[in-house]
Structure 1
Amino acid sequence: MHCSTHVHRWAEMDATTAHDVFRLRQQVFVVEQGDPYDDLDGRDTEPGTVHVVVRDDADEVVGVARVLDDGEEWRIGRVALAPRARGRGLSGPLMTACLEVCEGRPVVLAAQTPLAAWYATFGFEVCGPEFLDGSIPHLPMVRPLGGQSARC
């Protein structure tokens, strides 16, 4: 599967891409993982929000992530791959594209607990106790800037 990664600000994203991003997030988090939650939280449309989108060779959206500008830090979330795209080495380039957006500040995220070790390969450190996000266990993680200590 040949894929390409695209970085979009909300104002640059066409309606079809936005629909496909939201559909993939719903398919993964709500349907597959069985965790109904309010995905459309109003942050997707903020001026500083960046959407990272992976498209396959048929131009279908198979991976997504959202980078939020939280002022003193960046926040990565809503990271998802379509089931058919998993195990093909696409999650690394997706995360790398997210981190390229996150310059000059620490980066935080809430990792589904089984994925914490994977996020650690990108320099993230667990910085707090496990918590439930909906019905799914998560760990708060931070990628400190330079020699700073980890804080969430």
Structure 2
Amino acid sequence: MNSIHWHTKLFDELTVNELYDILRLRTDIFVVEQNCPYPEIDGKDKQCLHIYATHQDKVIACARIVPPGLSYPEISIGRVAIAPDYRKDGYGRVLMQLAIEKIAQEFGEQDIQIGAQCYLKKFYGSFGFKPSSDDYLEDNIPHVDMIRSASEYSN
């Protein structure tokens, strides 16, 4: 699909409609699809950098870059979501690569930590993330903390 547009914005740069669409996608996936009632709006978005993709004015993928100390001691990538109709098209890979590159550009090479759903260990592992915790339940869904070490990717 050549009409996919990628965007990166600070919270205050998002329009009301963009914010609404990002929150709707995240809620549709993390709360409704995964049948997991939890506080999706967690108070962190205002401090994050948001990366998202649109297709025909619809948000189809999103993630946020979370500053160090807000979720983890390290900078992190969170709320990675792809709309169901777009999951087999490789947009998850593009989204993660863009997030990693944006961190390097804006903040320099550094360790990146994520809290991944366990079934996605191999996916995140393909970007250099390695488990840094035992598996644990978060909102009744198996998760694992993973870190991508900057030292392995520095030249």
Question: Which whole-Å CA distance do the structure 2 matches of 1:100 and 1:11 have between them?
Answer: 21
Structure 2: which amino acid aligns with 1:111?
A
Q: How does 1:1-152 map to 2 (within 5 A)?
A: 1-2=1-2, 3-46=4-47, 49-56=48-55, 58-71=56-69, 73-103=74-104, 104-147=109-152
CA RMSD of superposed structures (Å): 1.4
Structure 1: which amino acid aligns with 2:90?
G
For 1:35-56, what per-residue CA distance to the aligned partner results, in whole angstroms no more than 9, with x for missing partners? Answer: 111111111002xx11110111
Moved over 6 A (4+): none
TM-score in terms of structure 1 length: 0.91
8 A Cα contact 1:5 1:97, kept in partner: no
Q: Specify which structure has the higher proportion of helix.
A: 2
Question: Which whole-Å CA distance do the structure 1 matches of 2:141 and 2:133 have between them?
Answer: 16
Q: Percent identity?
A: 34
For 1:7-63, what per-residue CA distance to the aligned partner results, in whole angstroms no more than 9, with x for missing partners? Answer: 1111111110000000000000100010111111111002xx11110111x121000
- Residues 114/68 of structure 1: CA separation in 2 closer, same or farther (3 Å cut): same
How far does residue 99 in structure 1 lie from its aligned partner after superposition?
0.6
Gapped regions of structure 2 (runs ≥ 5):
none
For 1:87-121, what per-residue CA distance to the aligned partner results, in whole angstroms no more than 9, with x for missing partners? Answer: 01111111011111222221000111010111010
